[in-house]
Structure 1
Amino acid sequence: MEVEGDAKPVIHAPRKIPIALRDKVKQELDRMVSIDVIISKVDYPTSWVNSMVVVQNRICLDPRDLNQYVKRSHYQLPTVTEITAQLSGAKFFSILDASSGFWQVRLDEPSADLCTFNSPFGRYKFKRLPFGLNSAPEVFHRLVHEIFEGLQGVTTYIDDILVWENSKQEHDLRLIEVLNRAKDRKLTLNKAKCQFGLSKIKYLGHVLTAEGVQIDDGKIEAVVNMPKPQCKKDVERFLGMVTYITKLIPNLSTVAAPLRQLLCKDVTWQWLENHENAFIQLKKLVTTTPILCYYDVSKPVTLSVDASQSGLGAVLLQDDKPVAYASRALTETEKAYAQIEKECWLWYMGANAFISMYMASKLK
């Protein structure tokens, strides 16, 4: 781990810990020392002394000052779209979870000194990659990606490893290959969080099946059970929940337009009938959204678009089945466009939304 040359080291005093948690925090620090994650009693000067933050079942570094100067590797994480585009023909899935993934990455001595932290019980320093560093996810993702690089039917996202194949026999052979690779490279897995040989599995907030991608039941339930918004913050929260799954829902932005208008600075809060209708319709859309097929790079694609008075919608199709949806609401200025201008804007929006899937593909 390296820091920028103009970094200004910061030394933090130990934060106060609630009296009721002191014994538990000390026990956890002792446990982390015993499993070689941290070193206790750092008795020599270090340029950086970070704060410690206690979250549920975990002690993390609070390196907010250090994070400003850490040189990041900027190793790109795959998107859900990029992952599902690899799954055409997949019928069986397994998910492997790296046990305390970051702690499997050993720090060299200079990096460990940077990760020194203060506590009411003295100074400690991390020997393993700590939670809290802004570079930690991409560092660990790069290492895990390199472990399984070259294997077919495998993709990784930080500490989540997805294995798939189009038959049970091929899947099991692939899984054995992955497990052997993990063993050879000393990557420890969390058996309790691993799932093996399923035809339907939850991954990164989506449900993967032999037929395609669908919305996680937990997310559907959360949206359906959301009470009627009482203020703008409630509307933001609700729209945030449905926007996460926008590519799985047709015409989402158009339907949500009345709710988004409520968030404008110059709009006074007033829940009207059109807002109630949009709220109810969005809930209905979430519960009736069809399964999206996996993108197949070998098949031609069809881009279908549609415009209404309030929004634009597009869907990418293969074999007349939806692969992904995109939509956006029209601004007041755009609503005044001539029809030919709206149609041009519509095709631009649709093409731009699916550019990663239709570029270099055969258009139908």
Structure 2
Amino acid sequence: MEIDTGASVSVISQETCKQVFGSDNSLEKSPCSLRTYTGEKIDVLGKRKVTVIYNSQSVDLPITVVKGTGPSLMGRDWLHKLQLNWKSIFKIEQLAHNQEPEKDKELQDLLRKYPQVFKEGLGTLKGTKARIYVDKDATPKYFKARPVPYALKEKIEKELDRLEKGGNIEKVEFSEWAAPIVPIVKPDKSVRICGDYKVTINQVSKLDNYPIPKTDDLYATLSGGQAFSKLDLSQAYQQIVLDKESRKYVTINTHKGLYQYNRLPFGVSSAPGIFQRTMKNLLQGIPRVVVRVDDILITGSSKSEHLNNLETVLGKIQESGMRLNKDKCVFLAPEVVYLGHRIDQYGIYPVESKVKAITEAPEPKNVTELKSYLGMLNYYNRFLPDLSSNLAPLHGLLKKQKRWKWDKSQQEAFELSKTLLKSSKVLVHYDPNKDIILSCDASPYGIGAVLSHKMEDGCDRPVGYVSRTLAPAERNYSVLEKEGLAVIFALKKFHQYLFDRKFTIYTDHKPLIGLFNENKCIPPMAAARIQRWALTLSAYEYKIVYKEGKKNSNADALSRLSLNREGKTEVPAEMIMLMDHMDSTPVTAQQIKAWTRKDPILGQITNYVLKGWPNYRDNDEMRPYFSRKTELSVFDSCLLWGNRVVIPNPGREIILQELHEGHQGISRMKVLARGYVWRAKYGRRN
């Protein structure tokens, strides 16, 4: 029960009342009429008497029963009768079972009994192999190996050797199926190899849509838990061995030849369902345990029950041959976030961060920002019938010749509008059984997204909002990259809602449809970060749809009124290596930057990349760049096509001379040049 000094009476929801009092649902009539602090009417079902024991005193008090599933509130009527000791309430005390896990002897003794579970290296599930089911009439899909950047070639070969020695992959001479690879550079500069399966097996395999736990089931399993432990399976999917028949479907094509995966790889669309079913079968029957793909949540009504349940789970995992990532596990925590809800011993609540983008949104600074914000409000106006009258001070600033002046009346209207956007009239709880929509947008200085449900009447209702400002380097991204960043940012923020669920992405940037299309190959000459983002998306089951900017106004406003928190700039390792390499030659990155600025064509193209492309080209010299507009990017004021630097005219002869001095022949010289640099040849693609 939460203390609410703003509530005149104490209330309990109908659902909680049933759980506490069972079949005893007799209620007295209640004459009171209740409203929320935003003015919404609360449906009162009646009231009942309950016995309250506090500080050695027992007293019978009335509690009002209301519709809904919200938390119980202790209002001023109870506070007056109980005469609470506020000093002791505000004092923070550490509960015995919530002490630091490292200092909890019982817990540490328990963990030491299962050393194999936390052993380094990849575990192997015993007795069960995964199978990928493919339509009988499916035509095999074979893709050639993609060209590999020279800066990454040695690292890719090293990773392939490591995977082969570990038994994860094996070399094969022939395969009807083959997916190209996308190398992902990790923070330590090593490379992770992923197959682009969305163009091969994902199009024809049968999904294992194993259901995730419903919120009601989750509450029933975890209700009454005093503390929570969350276990993380190390390299989850790859702990499951593939059956021999399925291995041909996950063949990858590399510059070193063909390799088959022996274990379930990342990027296969049926993998989440296979893994969920496997874990559910492994841990079924253990009380107060919930499994969500590679996250296992455990609780108990007491510390001893909790540790008993934890020991049973650890025993099952050790017996199965699987392993946990101890660094990512949490033990005996007082609260956890799970499936988009915050769970503690008192109940289950929506996560406050869902509406942080609205709560902390700064007020508009000009007419453009105000129009964008009002557009979002208008998007939800069907749920807020009295909105127009409340926003009159804001609409007044849009009048022609009206001088911009933001005073108290505008601020009050703005704060009221934010309260309404967070209210139950607009915001709904996440429901895994409803269609999911992810609306994303970017502005020159911010990104934002809205997660929504498609309701039975066809309207969109928001579940949560997120936004942030762009870091200085991100503001130099192309328009395409900013829009892509908005999608990836939203995926990471709403991952718990989206993973292993079908959903639709709305974007108002058409070129993004081609690059992130769920059924198309990742373009080999797209910018490195676009390739990585497209690969990240391949782990999700989505459809991406173009939505005109005016109709995408809910996400547009968040990108323009983004929170004042800058993101961390992602600097791709390939680009760093490429720029470092160029600095060691007679042509430096600084020279290329200066030449690009002065070149009338490249200067204009750079401007198009950063600010958006027109629908026409000025002359034939622009043609090679227009045909590659989704593959061009800007890094440190230098123009790049994929991983290759676009060389301005003054540098072309110098580069050719430097390459020629290697005396490797014209063919070898061309191959070397195409690995690092590019210059436009008008009239044909090169």
TM over 0.5: yes
Alignment TM-score, normalising by the size of structure 2: 0.35
How far the C-alpha of 1:144 sits from its partner, in A, is 0.7
Amino acid at match of 1:60: C
> What RMSD in Å do the two structures reach over aligned CA positions?
4.1
Question: What does residue 25 of structure 1 align with?
Answer: 156
Distance 1:209 1:138 in 2: 28
Contact conserved, 2:420 with 2:426, CA < 8 A, in 1?
Answer: no
Aligned residues: 272
- Segment drifting more, 207-216 vs 187-196: 207-216
Amino acid at match of 2:255: P
Match of 1:2 among 119, 133, 139: 133
Amino acid at match of 1:62: D
Kindly indicate whether residue 196 of structure 2 is the aligned counterpart of residue 62 of structure 1. yes
Amino acid at match of 2:419: Q
Match of 2:175 among 46, 55, 71: 46
Matches within 5 A, 1:118-157: 118-157=253-292
SS of the residue 2:312 aligns to:
helix
Question: What does residue 174 of structure 1 align with?
Answer: 309
- Segment drifting more, 222-231 vs 124-133: 222-231
How far the C-alpha of 1:102 sits from its partner, in A, is 0.4
Distance 1:167 1:252 in 2: 47
Question: What does residue 265 of structure 1 align with?
Answer: none
Amino acid at match of 2:159: E
How far the C-alpha of 1:150 sits from its partner, in A, is 1.2
Distance 2:165 2:387 in 1: 57
Kindly indicate whether residue 252 of structure 2 is the aligned counterpart of residue 117 of structure 1. yes
Contact conserved, 2:358 with 2:418, CA < 8 A, in 1?
Answer: no
How far the C-alpha of 1:130 sits from its partner, in A, is 0.9
Distance 2:195 2:386 in 1: 41
Kindly indicate whether residue 225 of structure 2 is the aligned counterpart of residue 95 of structure 1. no
Amino acid at match of 2:143: H
Distance 2:147 2:363 in 1: 40
Which runs of no fewer than 5 residues in structure 2 stay unpaired? Answer: 1-131, 187-191, 389-397, 400-409, 430-452, 460-686
Cα 1:169/1:280, change in 2 over 3 Å:
same
Distance 1:83 1:167 in 2: 18
Cα 1:169/1:228, change in 2 over 3 Å:
same
How far the C-alpha of 1:72 sits from its partner, in A, is 2.8
Identity percentage over the alignment? 31
Distance 1:77 1:34 in 2: 35
How far the C-alpha of 1:160 sits from its partner, in A, is 0.6
SS of the residue 1:32 aligns to:
helix
Distance 1:179 1:276 in 2: 52
How far the C-alpha of 1:13 sits from its partner, in A, is 0.9
Match of 1:14 among 130, 140, 145: 145
Distance 1:77 1:190 in 2: 22
How far the C-alpha of 1:224 sits from its partner, in A, is 4.4
Kindly indicate whether residue 411 of structure 2 is the aligned counterpart of residue 281 of structure 1. no
Alignment TM-score, normalising by the size of structure 1: 0.63
How far the C-alpha of 1:312 sits from its partner, in A, is 8.1
Give CA-to-partner distance per residue, 1:179-222, whole Å, 9 cap, x none: 01111111211111111111112323432111122344655555
Match of 1:200 among 335, 343, 359: 335
Contact conserved, 2:229 with 2:299, CA < 8 A, in 1?
Answer: yes
Question: What does residue 351 of structure 1 align with?
Answer: none
Contact conserved, 1:97 with 1:160, CA < 8 A, in 2?
Answer: yes
Give CA-to-partner distance per residue, 1:213-258, whole Å, 9 cap, x none: 2344655555545567978xx88xx99xxxxxxxxxxx99936997
Cα 1:328/1:75, change in 2 over 3 Å:
closer
Cα 1:21/1:222, change in 2 over 3 Å:
farther
Cα 1:150/1:224, change in 2 over 3 Å:
same
How far the C-alpha of 1:33 sits from its partner, in A, is 2.1
Question: What does residue 63 of structure 2 align with?
Answer: none
Which runs of no fewer than 5 residues in structure 1 stay unpaired? Answer: 240-250, 260-269, 287-305, 316-325, 333-364
Q: Larger Cα Rg: Structure 1 or Structure 2? A: 2
SS of the residue 1:169 aligns to:
helix
Distance 1:53 1:158 in 2: 24
SS of the residue 2:211 aligns to:
coil
Contact conserved, 1:106 with 1:129, CA < 8 A, in 2?
Answer: yes
Distance 2:139 2:178 in 1: 12
Kindly indicate whether residue 319 of structure 2 is the aligned counterpart of residue 184 of structure 1. yes
How far the C-alpha of 1:99 sits from its partner, in A, is 0.8
SS of the residue 2:299 aligns to:
strand
